[in-house]
C-alpha cells in the first residue's frame, strides 16, 4: 500500500494528529503571508487599484493560461504516460483541472495526489507509475523555474547572495534532471513475488513501478519532447503574467515578468495552504515592490491575480468532474480506493 495519500483523502479516524499539525502549519503560513502583504495597506487602496484593470489584456491572459498552457500541459502528461499505457489529451486536461480544484480546497498541494489517483483510476495504470510521471513533470518544472530565476537575476538588480543562490540552485536542478534521465535509461525488472524477503520485494517492486513513470525520458527523442513541452509551458506562463501586468496597467518589462514568475514559482514549490493563500500574495508583493511598485498597488495586483487563478480553476475543475459523471465525494472515494489498492 502506498502511504502518500493526503490526509483529506485518508480513511476516517486515521492521522488525526497529523491533520491537526498540517492545519496549524498551513494557518501559520497564511497568516504570516497575509500580515506581510496587508500591513499598512488601506482597503481603499485595494479598491482603487482594481479600477485600473483593462479588459482586453485580462481576457488574453485568461485564454493564454486556461487554453494554451492547459493544453500544452495536457500534452506533456500524455507524453509522460505513453510508455505505461497512455491517456487521451481530453482526459489529461480534465484531471489537471481537477487537480487544480483540489489544490484550492486541500492543504499542502494534495491536489497532485488526487490528480494522480484519478488518472490511475480511469487509465488502469498503476498509481505508483502515474506518480512517477508526476515526479518527472515536477522536476521539469523546477528546471524551467531555475532557468527563469537565472534570467531574472541577469536582467534585474539583485543582491549578490541571491544571485549566488540562484546559480547553485540551477546547477543542482540540472544535475538532478541528468540523473533522472540516466535512471530512466536503465532496464528495471520486478523481483519474483515468492522471494523470502517480502518487505524487500514490496519496496523494490514499488521502486520499479515508480521508475516506469520515467520511461518517457529513456530515449533522446522522448527527453527532447518532454523538455520542449515543459519549455512551452513556461513561455506561456510568462506570457500570461505579462498580459496580467498589462491589464493592471503596470510596467510590462522583461525584468518585471521574469522576477514575478520566478518569485511565484519558488513560493509554490513548497506545500502550503489551500490555494496558496497568503504565500502567493507575499511572493507577488515581494517581486513587485523589489522593482519599485508601491505596496498598495502590488497588494491589489496580488489579490487580482489570485482570484483569476482560483475562481476559473475551481469552476473548470468542477465542470471536469461533472463531465466525468462524478461528484467530489465520489471522486475522493474512488481515488482513495485506487491509492490504497496500489501495491
Q: Of the ranges 36-40, 56-60, 78-82, which one carries the lowest mean pLDDT score?
A: 36-40
Judged by DSSP in three states, 219 sits in coil
* Residue 3 covered by a domain: no
Neighbours of 221 (CB within 10 A): 9
CB 306 within 8 A of CB 264: no
* Residue 8 covered by a domain: no
CB 229 within 8 A of CB 72: yes
* Residue 242 covered by a domain: yes
CA pair distance 116, 76, nearest whole angstrom = 14
Per-residue pLDDT tens over the stretch 275-334: 888 889 999 999 999 888 988 889 989 998 998 899 999 999 999 999 988 888 878 887
Q: Domain range holding 291?
A: 43-341
Q: Residue 150's pLDDT is what?
A: 83
Work out the percent of the chain whose per-residue pLDDT is above 90: 28
Highest mean pLDDT among 64-78, 212-226, 288-302: 64-78
Q: What average pLDDT does range 50-61 have in this prediction? A: 86
CA pair distance 121, 200, nearest whole angstrom = 27
Q: Residue 11's pLDDT is what?
A: 42
CA pair distance 40, 20, nearest whole angstrom = 31
DSSP character for 5?
-
Q: What share of the chain is helix, strand, coil (3-state, %, to 5)?
A: 80, 0, 20
CA pair distance 260, 6, nearest whole angstrom = 30
CA pair distance 328, 114, nearest whole angstrom = 11
141 contact partners, CB below 8 Å, separation of at least 6: 230, 233, 234, 265
* Residue among 260, 245, 248, 246 nearest 291 (CA): 260
* Residue 238 covered by a domain: yes
Higher pLDDT, 335 or 212: 335
CA pair distance 143, 179, nearest whole angstrom = 13
Total of domains in the chain: 1
* Residue 167 covered by a domain: yes
Residue 42 has pLDDT above 60, yes or no: yes
**Rg, C-alpha atoms of the chain:** 21
Residue 242 has pLDDT above 70, yes or no: yes
CB 127 within 8 A of CB 342: yes
**DSSP states along 142-203:** HHHHHHHHHHHHHHS---HHHHHHHHHHHHHHHHHHHHHHHHHTS---PPPTT-S-HHHHHH
The band of 12, judged by pLDDT with boundaries at 50, 70 and 90, is: very low
* Residue 15 covered by a domain: no
- Where do runs of H (alpha helix) occur along 13-159? 16-38, 43-50, 55-63, 70-81, 89-105, 111-123, 127-155
Residue 184 has pLDDT above 80, yes or no: no
* Residue 60 covered by a domain: yes
Residue 87 has pLDDT above 60, yes or no: yes
Q: What is the phi/psi pair of residue 291, to 5°?
A: -100, 20
The four Cα atoms 242, 72, 125, 82 give a dihedral, to 10 degrees, of -140
Q: What average pLDDT does range 14-26 have in this prediction? A: 60
* Residue 166 covered by a domain: yes
Looking at every residue in the chain, the average pLDDT score rounds to 79
CB 174 within 8 A of CB 284: no
Length of the chain: 343
Q: Residue 10's pLDDT is what?
A: 43
Amino acid at each position: 500500500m502506498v502511504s502518500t495519500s493526503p490526509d483529506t483523502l485518508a480513511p476516517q479516524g486515521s492521522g488525526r494528529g497529523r491533520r491537526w499539525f498540517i492545519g496549524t502549519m498551513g494557518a501559520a503560513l497564511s497568516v504570516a503571508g497575509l500580515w506581510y502583504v496587508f500591513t499598512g495597506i488601506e482597503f481603499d487602496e485595494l479598491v482603487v487599484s482594481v479600477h485600473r484593470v483593462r479588459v482586453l489584456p485580462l481576457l488574453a491572459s485568461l485564454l493564454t493560461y486556461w487554453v494554451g498552457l492547459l493544453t500544452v500541459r495536457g500534452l506533456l502528461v500524455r507524453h509522460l504516460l505513453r510508455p505505461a499505457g497512455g491517456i487521451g489529451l481530453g482526459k489529461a486536461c480534465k484531471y489537471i483541472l481537477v487537480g487544480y480544484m483540489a489544490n484550492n480546497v486541500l492543504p499542502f498541494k494534495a491536489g497532485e495526489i488526487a490528480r494522480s489517483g484519478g488518472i490511475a483510476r480511469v487509465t488502469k495504470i498503476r498509481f505508483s507509475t502515474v506518480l512517477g510521471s508526476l515526479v518527472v513533470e515536477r522536476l521539469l518544472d523546477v528546471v524551467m523555474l531555475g532557468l527563469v530565476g537565472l534570467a531574472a537575476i541577469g536582467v534585474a538588480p539583485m543582491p549578490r547572495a541571491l544571485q549566488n543562490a540562484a546559480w547553485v540552485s540551477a546547477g543542482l536542478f540540472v544535475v538532478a534532471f541528468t540523473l533522472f534521465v540516466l535512471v530512466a535509461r536503465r532496464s528495471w525488472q520486478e523481483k519474483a513475488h515468492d522471494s523470502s524477503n517480502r518487505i524487500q520485494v514490496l519496496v523494490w517492486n514499488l521502486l520499479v513501478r515508480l521508475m516506469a513513470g520515467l520511461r518517457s525520458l529513456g530515449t533522446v527523442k522522448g527527453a527532447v519532447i518532454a523538455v520542449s513541452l515543459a519549455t512551452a509551458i513556461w513561455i506561456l506562463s510568462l506570457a500570461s503574467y505579462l498580459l496580467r501586468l498589462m491589464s493592471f496597467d503596470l510596467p510590462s518589462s522583461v525584468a518585471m515578468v521574469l522576477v514575478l514568475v520566478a518569485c511565484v514559482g519558488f513560493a509554490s514549490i513548497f506545500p502550503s495552504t489551500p490555494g496558496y493563500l497568503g504565500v502567493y500574495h507575499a511572493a507577488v508583493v515581494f517581486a513587485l515592490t523589489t522593482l519599485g511598485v508601491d505596496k498598495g498597488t502590488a497588494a491589489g495586483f496580488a489579490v487580482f491575480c489570485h482570484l483569476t487563478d482560483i475562481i476559473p480553476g475551481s469552476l473548470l475543475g468542477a465542470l471536469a468532474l461533472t463531465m466525468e459523471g462524478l461528484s467530489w465525494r465520489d471522486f475522493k472515494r474512488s481515488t482513495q480506493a485506487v491509492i490504497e489498492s496500489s501495491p
